[in-house]
Structure 1
Amino acid sequence: MKKFLIGVLALATAQQLAAQDHEAEAQDTSWKKEYRGSYTIINDLVHTKVDAKFDYDKSYMYGKVWITLKPHFYPTDSLTLDAKGMDIHKVALVKGSSTTPLKFGYDGWNLTINLDKTYKNNETYTIYIDYTAKPNEVKVQGSAAITDAKGLYFINPKGEEKDKPTQIWTQGETEATSVWCPTIDKPNMKTTQETIMTVPAKFVTLSNGKMISSKKNADGTRTDHWKMDLPHAPYLFFMGVGDYAVIKDSWKGKEVNYYVEHEFAPVAKKIFGNTPEMMTFFSKITGLDYPWVKYSQMTARDYVSGAMENTTATLHQESAQQDARELIDGNGWESTIAHELFHHWFGDYVTAESWSNLTVNESFANYSETLWDEYKYGKDAGDAQNYNDMAGYLQSGSEKKDLVRFHYPDKESMFDAVSYNKGGRILHMLRNYVGNDAFNKALNVYLTENKFQAAEAHNLRLAFEKVTGQDLNWFFNQWYFGDGHPLLDIDYLYNENAKTVQVIIKQTQKTGKVFILPIAIDVYNGAKKTRHNVWVKNAVDTFTFSYTSRPELVNVDGDKILLAIKKDNKTLDNYIHQYKYAGLYLDRREAIEFAQKNQDNSKAQELLKLALKDKYHGLRILTATRLDFKNSALKSAVEPILADLAKTDPKSTVRAAAISALVNYDNAAYNAIYAKGITDSSYSVAGASLENLSKKDKAAALAAAKKIASGGKLKGAMTESVLKVLAQSGDESSFELVANTFDEMPLSNAKFNLLPPFAEYLGNVSNTANFKKGIDAIIKFREVLKPYGYEQVVNNFLMNATLKKKEAALAAASDKKALQEQIDYLKTQVQGEKKGF
């Protein structure tokens, strides 16, 4: 699963959210005494066949399931299945063509069945269950990655919502498949599977494995039969139903299909078309060809968990569906596509035996994003992805959590910045330490020795030890079975008489833990580099290197792979040399960030001018967005560079950043750039141009925004820019467009960024009905964000923007009735069931 909001939304609020999370955990610490090990296996699943019919009016599923099992080791005369919130009509033992009713007990959560005899572990038996699944009536807590756990979702089932398709999809992780299919809903279970779905003939279906038959029925329905011949975990079971265009592709003779809404059929291959190349790349680095019979990807409305790696049938949030103009700025969903595909090795082929060991699923999928970017787009792109994920972890406030942890409040809490971001960075360090060839070989050993089984971090360690011949307990103990990360203070002492430089590395974390860190220290004279491989093992380590002429740079962590926070006491001259000669993405980024803190220095200004022309577009953007335009010398020096970037840079996102920077200049000549930019094919360029125009000519910008909005559905970066201009204008005639567009936007960073201007806009809305509608849209979004810990952040927007404006207006109003009604409504919606603010 790609958890969409880890390290993405509003990093400025990370500390606040972490504090809220820690406070919530502190209120109930009973979980600290409960060991969360692997599920104790009594019976093994062998095969599962489910027959599903859907009631769109009631959002029910009428199901029949045949489950073949056998005792794991010890003989048993009973079976317990997970079956959440169902009506159980019949339970029977299947023998040949006949069935024998069995006694059972059901508490609404678990189905306990008395078997007809005691079975030994070499005997299989098949249970038949007739049941009704009622997903909307099941109350199961979700998480930040999985915002509820209904398992089965009916989207617009009666077709009552205009312009919204009718769909059905399932979400099994962590243990929600058992809402729609009785099973042993644990990650250390594996079963082959058949899925039979009867649906209106106008819809297509998708499930695990291959479709083996499709039959039209006399009542206008169709019955599709899907079969999965290889075993996988129950949380990976999938059903998808809807009116989709199916775009066909292939890889080595296997079906590769993309299920998208019809309007996105022309661009489906631009969105998902790198999938076959990804399959080739991941097959190469693992030494194991994509092991499943097919690979399909489907988009879904109202799916807020990012994406899910259901075996052979990945489900993507609707945000994956980008139009041609959005794709000009780059495929914003490509890393997610890679993430879910890599799960088909790490998660589906070999599965975490417990949620405590989620790292063997999610850390690998997370790291695949770095691996893919590095392979496809170059080392800078891979390093940028790696850095952004590291920043997401470091700002998450998760330093007290182990990667593998057996104590947690709920299994859903494992889906966090530690299992994803930190785990991926640990793999990055491990790859650097053992070498690329050994890393890939160890992946192959791990996958081969544990295929179609459940595994844990120790299995991974043993695979790496088998390949490298090294004992790696020191690495796994500190990174997998320990918490935190090093805080490094790095100093340099030069002795011109002795011709030596001492590199002093202090670990300043206050946890008492000292990390073992194998790192490279590079000593530079001009472009010449001498590498020293050293081990940091103590709270303070000093390394002494001789030189002939004083080094122009000593670069600690020469490969820039450490998961750490560094205070590196280099000079500006050192950083300038680092930028020019060390050359890695993070080398250059560190130098740019140091120069940005010293923008009064002429040398720093020269470095920033150089960085505006960096070979990697991401660093050009970074530099353009960090310039201090209050510094007149710098402002003047970079103006021609920014103007050139705005007009000629090959990357549309760089042009957009440069355009945004040009607003700091009182130069009427740039108005032509903005006017032209508004019609640019790139949404980011058009959006930046519109926002700049609004700061120079509000009336012209408002007219342009209305014209753009009237042209149809807003998409991409243009949505955020148009709505900001409309909202900031306070023009109430645009209310329906602003409110409806905000309400219909899928969960995304763009929607979150629109919360402040939309809340401020509502402070200017006088029509009470419109005001309430707008508040309702924000509250609805707040409920989606609630599992992520953002409830209070949303409330603060409403309290600090909307409420303050209304209260100020109330004080000056002659007729206070309408304003008081609005204020009362706002307070009621913000506080909910609480008795006061």
Structure 2
Amino acid sequence: MTDLKLLSTLLLSAALSATFTSSQAQQTPQPEDPALKIYRETPRKVNDLVHTKLDVRFDYKKHYMYGKEWVTLKPHFYPTDTLRLDAKGMDLKTIAVVKNGKNVPLKFTYQDSLSVAIKLDKVYRNNESYTIYIDYTAKPNELKVKGSAAINDAKGLYFINPDGTEKDKPTQIWTQGETESSSAWFPTIDKPSQKTTEEISMTVLSKYVTLSNGKLVSQKNNADGTRTDTWKQDLPHSPYLFMMAVGDFKIYKDKWRNKEVNYYLEPKYAPYAKEIFGMTPEAIEFYSKTLGVDYPWYKYSQIVVRDYVSGAMENTSATLHGAYVQGTHRELLDAYYDDGRSTIVHELFHQWFGDYVTAESWSNLTVNESFANFSETLWAEHKYGKDVADEHNYIDMQNYLRSPDARTKNLVRFHYADKEDVFDVVTYQKGGRILNMLRNYLGNEAFYKGLNIYLTTNAFKNGEAQQLRLALEQASGLDLNWFFNQWYYGAGHPILDISYKWDDATKTQTVYLQQSQDGQIFKLPMAIDIYAGGKKTRHKVWMNNQHDTLTFKLASKPDLVNVDGDKILLVKKTDHKTLQEFAFQYFNAPLYLDRLEAINAVADKQGEKDAQKVLIAALNDKYYGLRNKAIRTIKLDNDAIRNAAQPILARLVQTDDNTLVQAQAIAALGSLKASGNMNLFKQALSSQSYAVQGAALNAINLLDPALAMNLAKNYEADNKGGLTAAMMNVYATSGTDAQWAFVYKQFDEAAPQAKYNALDKFSAMAGRVQKPEYAQQGISQIKDFGIKYKPQGAGDAAIKFITNIKEKREQMHDDATVKAADDAIKQINDTK
């Protein structure tokens, strides 16, 4: 499953934090959920899946799937004459055991519409298998289930625009199995500890393309205009990794060594297939060599679908992506590593960690998702350089540290209210950071040898964190219980205070380390780099206690003592360096985080020369992420900074090789409202980058709103991303009812994060348009948004903006819209 920070709802949650955190803080603490006291044991194995064969066809009108299944099983160990299968919300017409090619009906009980208890025809022992035949109808749209933060729906099978009535949206069918939703479209033992081979035959309209796990072994044209495609997966995998997709897709055929690598895209995005997914063969090769285990499946396909309920899903040999990953050449100009590419490699790495070896239970989800998260940093380091990897890793750590309740949760979690709760920043972002720490501690060679032992020992089976520990210990010869006990089976993180004292009389540098978190005290191996006399000396130390004092005898006072020289620790720290020491750190310490810490440290000291030197230098930093950070940090109302920065910003607009830096530089210059920059902004409008065009239009709007209005109209036929947002800003500020249709359409079609970002301007325009029906359309949109994402805090934000509209409409004596606002607020409040 995709890295959480790419999920709309979680991105939305982060953006909304400023809106509702204060109100949350004032709430009375909730009593502990009794479900958290339940030990979540690994499910018992009574029967084991062996092979699953399906024959399915679809009813687009009813949103039904008609299925026939032949599932082969055997007792796990003890003899049994019963079988329980998960089967959610189905019509079960026939259940029989196959004997000598004939179906012998069996008695079954299906009372809760979630699982079926079957009485077998005899007692079976674990040296004999049996095959059950089931004739059933899946009714996913009638299933009452809930999703999670990671997966916002759990009905398993999805019909997208089945009647073709939604303009510009393709008709598709696709499935989503994780966590236990495959049993919404075929009866199975829907647990990650089960493994089965599979064969799926799909009968579909001949105009459609299909995709499933494994190999397409046959295609048969039928007399009624349909075609039956049969896909076969000969290697065992877990039921949640089964997948189907049906629709109008164009297939771009690539390859890795002699294996198929295919990309399934909507036809309009097919010309950009290589640009979107073209790094895949290189990534397969890199991961295969790094792990010492060649990509294990028959093929690797990636498909992009509409209205996906998560970010992406690592179905075995057939990863499914949400539509955000696809784009035209112009859109992709503004898409950097975290705008889809990290997800592509995340899901690919799952083909080893998750599919080849699967977590034995959701409690041990870390051996799936933490590794996939870690792989994003690994690939970034290999492909784009250490600065990109370190930024990615740092952002993940901040996402974890900002989560209010994450510090109370173990990584391996045997107590949770719902299995869906394990898909969180602890399993993903914290888990990935922990693996990166472990790699740093052991060294690459030992670490990857340990991963190889884990994978080969548990191939096509299940694994857990203890098996990972044993494999890494076998490789390294080191005891790792201390590491796993505190990071895997304990909760929280160090809160570290670092201070310094130099004694000139004794030439002694003292470093004081103090952990102040509640709960356990962490053992922290770390590097301390001391810069003195024009050279750097590294000291490898351990912090073992809550308070540790370290002393170093030196020839002279050091220029810098850099604790955690590798910037690898998962820690919330306060570092009491001086301004001069942070400035020295920026210019002399090598890592992304060294430089970022310095930029952050000088941000509120911009009146001082050392701070100004750092910020002006950072405008030219070798890494675009820090150039961007510096532009956002500088205060152009400071004369010294403005005078030094303006020519650099102008040059960045014209020559920087990163479109986001160009756009940020334009925004900074635009904030000056200096008419002398108008030509620069107009020139930037000719850029192929939507982000650059959008920044230029916003800058022009600050200087000449009427001109910006006229220019914006030129882009109504071709706008995306930053340009669309800028047009909405211009129209919302100066537009009339004539521009409402454009603004409304863009808001209606925007992704959740983009909708949240546009709420202020959208509501402002809805408040001042002349036609009451337009204002009411705006209220309806904001209300629907608030209700859908109320669990993420959007309800409060929606009420705030609807109230603003209401106040403006009261001044216009628009009683109908005022009533619509009151009704909308009530609906949001009444929604649970």
TM interval, shorter chain, is: over 0.9
Matched residue type, 1:823: A
Q: 1:11 aligns with which of 4, 11, 14?
A: 14
TM-superposed CA distance for 1:20, in Å, is 5.2
Q: Secondary structure at the match of 2:675?
A: coil
**Partner of 2:91: helix, strand, or coil?**
strand
The one of 817, 824, 827 equivalent to 2:825 is 827
Gap change, CA 1:809 and 1:751, over 3 Å in 2: closer
| CA distance in 1 between partners of 2:748 and 2:322 (Å) | 16
40, 44, 48: which is aligned to 2:48? 44
Matching residue within 449, 460, 465 for 1:457: 465
Q: Secondary structure at the match of 2:408?
A: coil
Preserved contact between residue 759 and residue 797 of structure 1 (Cα < 8 Å): no
- Native 8 Å contact 2:526 2:564 kept in 1: yes
Q: Compute the displacement of 1:236 (Å).
A: 0.5
The Cα of 1:693 is off from its aligned counterpart by 1.3
Counterpart-to-counterpart distance in 2, 1:536 and 1:464: 22
Structure 2 partner of 1:410: 418
Over residues 371-429 of structure 1, what are the superposed CA-to-partner deviations in whole Å (9 max), with x where a residue is unaligned? 11110011111101101111111111211111111111111111111000000000010
Q: Give, in whole Å, the separation in 1 of the partners of 2:438 and 2:532.
A: 29
Residues in 1 aligned to 2:756 and 2:313: alpha-carbon distance in whole angstroms: 22
Name 1:227's counterpart in structure 2: 232
Gaps of 5+ in 2: none
Aligned to 1:600: 607
Amino acid paired to 1:720: A
| Deviation of the 1:804 alpha carbon | 2.5
Give the secondary-structure state (helix, strand or coil) at the position aligned to 1:775: helix
Indicate the SS of the match to 2:473.
helix
The within-5 A match list for 1:427-826 is 427-509=435-517, 511-525=518-532, 527-709=534-716, 711-712=717-718, 714-747=719-752, 749-786=753-790, 789-790=791-792, 792=793, 794-810=794-810, 812-813=811-812, 815-826=813-824
The 2-side partners of 1:19 and 1:781 are apart by: 20
Distance 1:816 1:277, change over 3 A: closer
Residue of structure 2 in register with 1:75 after alignment: 79
What is the distance in 2 between the residues matched to 1:209 and 1:774?
Answer: 47
CA drift of 1:555 comes to 0.4
Counterparts in 2 of 1:291-306, with a 5 A limit? 291-306=296-311
Distance 1:160 1:704 in 2: 34
Counterpart mapping for 1:154-173 below 5 A: 154-173=159-178
Counting matched residue pairs gives: 824
- Is the CA contact 2:251–2:263 (under 8 Å) kept in the aligned structure 1? yes
The answer to whether the 8 A contact 2:787-2:831 is kept is no
Any idea what the Cα deviations from partners look like across 1:591-627, whole Å, max 9, x if unmatched? 1111112111111101110010000010000000111
Q: How does 1:249-260 map to 2 (within 5 A)?
A: 249-260=254-265
**Separation in 2, partners of 1:316, 1:668:** 45
Q: Give the whole-Å Cα distance in 2 for the aligned partners of 1:18 and 1:807.
A: 24
Gaps of 5+ in 1: none
Counterpart contact for 2:214–2:233, Cα < 8 Å: yes
Letter in 2 for 1:366: N
In 2, the alpha carbon distance for the partners of 1:780 and 1:194 equals 41
Q: Which moved more, 1:324-333 or 1:555-564?
A: 324-333
CA contact (8 A) 2:787 2:828 kept: no
Distance 2:692 2:526 in 1: 42
Q: Distance in 2 between matches of 1:625 and 1:563?
A: 26
Retained in 1: the 8 A contact 2:370–2:429?
yes
| One-letter amino acid of the counterpart of residue 826, structure 1 | A
Which amino acid in structure 2 is aligned with residue 198 of structure 1?
Answer: T
1:779 to 1:286, Cα distance in 2 relative to 1, 3 A: farther
Asked if 2 retains the 8 angstrom alpha-carbon contact of 1:771 and 1:822, the reply is no
Distance in 1, matches of 2:328 and 2:203, equals 32
Give the partner amino acid of 1:358. L
Q: Conserved in 1, the CA contact under 8 Å of 2:157 and 2:173?
A: yes
Matched, 1:91 2:95: yes
| Cα distance in structure 1, aligned partners of 2:789 and 2:451 | 36
Q: Is the 8 A contact 1:93 1:99 kept in 2?
A: yes
Deviation at 1:578, TM superposition (A): 1.1
Deviations 1:103-152 (A, max 9, x none): 11102111110000000011100000000000000011110111010100
SS of equivalent to 1:65 = strand
Q: Distance in 2 between matches of 1:808 and 1:758?
A: 13
Q: State the alpha-carbon separation in 1 of the partners of residues 388 and 831 from structure 2.
A: 47
Query: Take 1:758 and 1:94, find their aligned partners in 2: how far apart are those partners?
Result: 61
CA apart distance, 1:7: 6.6
**Superposed CA offset, 1:439-463 (max 9, x none):** 1111111111111111111111111
Kept after mapping to 2: 8 A contact 1:677/1:685 = yes
Distance of aligned partners of 1:172 and 1:17 in 2 relative to their CA distance in 1, 3 Å threshold: farther
| Structure 1 residue matching 2:671: 3-state secondary structure | coil
Question: Percent identity at matched positions?
Answer: 53
Q: CA deviation at 1:641?
A: 1.1
TM-score w.r.t. length of structure 2: 0.96
Shift of 1:679: 2.6
Q: What is the CA–CA distance in structure 2 between the aligned matches of 1:486 and 1:577, rounded to whole Å?
A: 26
Match of residue 139, structure 1, among 139, 144, 158: 144
Shift of 1:322: 1.1
Tell me if the contact between 2:776 and 2:817 (Cα under 8 Å) persists in the aligned partners: no
Greater mean alpha carbon deviation, residues 62-71 or residues 568-577: 568-577
- Choose which of 149, 174, 182 in structure 2 pairs with 1:177: 182
CA RMSD of aligned residues (A): 1.8
CA distance in 2, matches of 1:297, 1:23: 44
Secondary structure at the counterpart of residue 715 of structure 2: helix
Letter matched to residue 300 of structure 2: Y
CA contact (8 A) 1:599 1:605 kept: yes
**Does the 8 Å CA contact 1:7/1:396 hold for their aligned counterparts?**
no
Provide closer, same or farther for how the CA distance between residues 65 and 779 of structure 1 changes in structure 2, counting only shifts above 3 A.
farther
Provide the rounded CA distance (Å) in 2 between the counterparts of 1:663 and 1:159.
44
Amino acid at match of 1:776: S
| Distance in 1 of aligned mates of 2:258 and 2:769 | 58
CA distance in 2: counterparts of 1:750 and 1:526, whole angstroms: 51
Contact 1:720 1:751 in 2 (8 A): no
Residue 757 of structure 1 deviates from its aligned partner by 2.1
| 3-state DSSP of counterpart to 2:789 | helix
Compared CA separation, residues 20 and 300, structure 1 to 2 (3 A): farther
Equivalent residues of 2:74, 2:128 under 8 A apart: yes
Q: How does 1:46-61 map to 2 (within 5 A)?
A: 46-61=50-65
Deviates more, 1:114-123 or 1:635-644: 635-644
Q: 1:274 to 1:827 in 2, by over 3 A?
A: same
Q: Does the C-alpha gap of structure 1 residues 466 and 586 become closer, same or farther in structure 2, counting only changes over 3 Å?
A: same
Counterparts in 2 of 1:550 and 1:817: CA distance versus 1, 3 Å: closer
Greater mean alpha carbon deviation, residues 529-538 or residues 769-778? 769-778
Taking structure 1 as reference, are residues 17 and 101 closer, same or farther at Cα in structure 2, changes over 3 Å only?
farther
Deviation at 1:284, TM superposition (A): 1.2
Residues 19 and 188 (structure 1), Cα distance of their counterparts in 2 relative to 1, 3 Å cut: farther
Alignment deviations for residues 179-202 of structure 1 (CA, whole Å, 9 cap, x no partner): 000000011110000111000100
Using the size of structure 1 for normalisation, the TM-score is 0.96
- In 2, Cα distance between the equivalents of 1:215 and 1:600? 75
Report Cα offsets for 1:496-548 as digits up to 9, x if no partner. Answer: 11111011101111x13211000000100254111100000111101111111
Q: Secondary structure at the match of 1:26?
A: coil
Question: Quick one: distance in 1 between partners of 2:218 and 2:546?
Answer: 65
Using a 3 Å threshold, how does the CA distance of structure 1 residues 311 and 110 change in structure 2: closer, same or farther? Answer: same
Structure 1 pair 402/520, CA: closer, same or farther in 2 (3 Å)? same
Distance 2:141 2:32 in 1: 28
**CA contact 1:7–1:417 (8 Å) conserved in 2:** no
**Maintained 8 Å contact 2:174/2:245:** yes
Structure 1 segments (4+ residues) deviating >4 Å: 15-25
